[in-house]
Chains A and B, each alone.
Chain A
């Protein structure tokens, strides 16, 4: 058997093995995504099976709609807050867990638990924690002689309350990824720095942080993509209110599609969000190439 033939057989087997995954991914991910992009230039009447091409009208309506503008601003605020805060806290915890202390594994599991808890179920519990009269947070504030906060009940504090919940939810994952990153940094760098008289803070800033750049890049991109798609916690905790203060793009498109049956308009919102995520991810990726490290 010739080498070329052997190679093509090898390729055929490889493709056959990945075919089921590619097929499922295509049917359940690629096709709906392409369909959604197509819907954005149509007036879609799903039950009547009527699709009317309207060009960019849905996008023009979006641009003129203050509710969408507010949803976009809320989403950007959410992303800008949650990505750096959860990454920084995750890194702090990872540094802590990178040292040895009693019950370390138990605490690690405790911090990671929110990640594997259903968002909707956890949000229901937090809804009660945030209750202005009976919730734990206001009880703690009262014990500290601080004024009660309205949390989810006020348009001024509701988005912050959702961000706090989301940080709690994503912290464990960031911690584990950073911990893996920290443990892969060769010890000789730290030993050399110690011989040169560098203290722990200097070692952290001069060795750990730069060598964790690829991990940070991954987390920023990953958390950024997830944050742009925030939905569950907003839906359960506030439903987008009060006064649209927590309305985010995915919730708005869900409402447009499934409560007002404006599928074309909702698809246009999805297309804008897709373009935004793609653009920001591409910029982050290209920018992060400057920080690539090898050891």
Chain B
């Protein structure tokens, strides 16, 4: 009898821990706004943001912008995943290729996607392609770097086993290297998708006429901080949803691992 009671209070405790801090911050924020300590143009109160959010949702504007942005992200991420996985595997498996490409990758990697905007406009104009290009750049490096790492980290103990069993090169790559690299590859894809989504604001600086990034920049021109915040929060929520989807995929694909969940 006592044991079930403890479990229930545990659940309640966890619930509070999960949402507590956020709720507390929101209440303090609302209170400070209503007391006039925080000016609405600097930081609109949660109540105002909620109203704007609901309005934009109701008249379909928000969903329209979300779908435009999500489409762009998926396009950019798709290309990044294909190229990143392909090149990453080739580089991971070939020492020569690795030596040839290492310098280029290391030098280009730190350049933030935003810095590419001027070139993107010159090369691709102000249409969809330049935006997808920026998003692609954001997602590409996490994917390729993690793929290379995953392949390089192939357990050499398994390599010895494969040598003894005279496993052919193709079977070795398909059955030992790539499955072993899956966790790292999934991490790369996950991080890549996140960065792709974060780049959507940068990408939509290029003459966009739709999308969540556009929504934010547009509201900025008109000094509408509440819409800016709605845009930001939307980006956060969608990002979280995307992350959850990939995590779910990861769990189904990598069924042989048991993850460390904490002390």
- Is B a genuine binding partner of A? no
Binding site for B on A (CB under 8 A): none
